[in-house]
Structure 1
Amino acid sequence: MEASEISEFMEQQEKASETHMMAVSFSISVLAVLVALVTVLSHRAHTAAVLNQSRASDEWNLYQAKKIRQSNIATTISLLQVLKPGDAAAEKQIADFRQHTSKWDSDLSESEHRAHALEMQVEAEEHRASRYDAGEALLQIGVVLASITLLTRQRIYWLVALAIGLVGLGYGAAGLLAH
């Protein structure tokens, strides 16, 4: 080989390396944007889970308050029956109390149903958030591995980074599709 051929060959290698490094840099940018998107989705899913858990707790508190009220009225009915048996005013009050407690039975059932439904939503959001978290972690690993490619100039790190990034993107998409 002549000196000019060697010089020309080296120039071609540098251009190829430069083109390859531009592709690596671009892929790092894309992976970083995907990390940001999946992170936002993850935060939103975690927030939704917390809000639904708070709503479920509120619903269970309402259920418990109604149950306590119902128990207090049952005790009052028992006391009225013992202390004032046959008293017309007491009997009217007992009838009113029984009417309230029968309405509260249906209210209790509705509260319990709403609380269970909210708890199911919490589980669904936590499942979705877990998928986003896994996708976020894998995409971040992809960014780091692609960055290592810039330092080492070894293509294998970039290929592994892209593969891991695709898996991370798959987890993020699975979070979107989860119900």
Structure 2
Amino acid sequence: MSTENAPHEHAVEHAAHSGDPLSRWVAVFTAILAALAGLLHYEEGVLQTQSLLFKNDAVLLQSKTSDEWNLYQAQSSKGHLMELAAELSGPDKQAYYRDQIAKYELRKKEIQAKAHDMEKEVEEANLQSERKGHPQHMFGQALALLNVAISLAAITSLTGSRKLFVVAGLAGVAGIGVSILGFLNI
């Protein structure tokens, strides 16, 4: 099975086999950053999945909460119909309708309490989703910086420019710094 290597991979491999100390440093630097990038890709995927699961829970809970509020509205409408029936009926049916009104009021209070609790759960699930999303975005930024550093290192191995290697190192350090912040925010 043949695989096609990216241009920077060939340059790094060539640099590793040459006698130039800069080329060897570039090869080691690139290998370290590539390993870190692999770890960050994994962590980013885990956080993205967790964030989506929390967001999915929030959406499902919001749907159930809406159902509860619809049930509350139905109980309220039935209660109003019982109030109307009580006013229009004779004295012999007044007690029955008053009992029905009390029953619907009690149900409304129970439903309202449950709906409020569910709204809190929705809010918590959304908050958890956001908590997972923030470090995920930081890992994406860190990966971008590491990829820039790797690309600049590959160009360094081709040009032999020490200044470019310093810029690659700065991009790599910035990427590592952002990734550390991302891990601290998990």
TM-score by length of structure 2 reads 0.77
State the partner residue of 2:60: 51
Does structure 2 conserve the Cα–Cα contact (< 8 Å) formed by 1:34 and 1:169?
no
Distance, in Å, in 2 between the alignment partners of 1:64 and 1:167 is 47
Distance, in Å, in 1 between the alignment partners of 2:184 and 2:54 is 17
* Residue 104 of structure 2 is aligned to residue 104 of structure 1: yes
Runs of 4+ in 1 over 6 A off after TM superposition: none
Shift of 1:161: 0.8
Does structure 1 conserve the Cα–Cα contact (< 8 Å) formed by 2:78 and 2:104?
no
Structure 2 spans left out of the alignment, 5+ residues: 1-17, 154-167
State the partner residue of 1:4: none
State the partner residue of 1:167: 181
State the partner residue of 2:45: 36
State the partner residue of 2:117: 117
What amino acid sits opposite 2:61 in the alignment?
Answer: N
Shift of 1:10: 4.6
Does structure 2 conserve the Cα–Cα contact (< 8 Å) formed by 1:39 and 1:133?
yes
Equivalent residue in structure 1 for 2:32, among 7, 23, 28: 23
What amino acid sits opposite 1:28 in the alignment?
Answer: A
Written as runs of structure 1 = structure 2, the 5 A alignment for 1:2-151 is 10-80=19-89, 84=90, 86=91, 91=92, 93-151=93-151
Does structure 1 conserve the Cα–Cα contact (< 8 Å) formed by 2:65 and 2:118?
yes
State, as a whole percentage, how many aligned pairs show the same letter.
Answer: 19
Structure 1 spans left out of the alignment, 5+ residues: 1-8, 174-179
Root mean square deviation of aligned Cα:
1.7
Does structure 1 conserve the Cα–Cα contact (< 8 Å) formed by 2:33 and 2:146?
yes
TM-score by length of structure 1 reads 0.80
Distance, in Å, in 1 between the alignment partners of 2:98 and 2:148 is 75
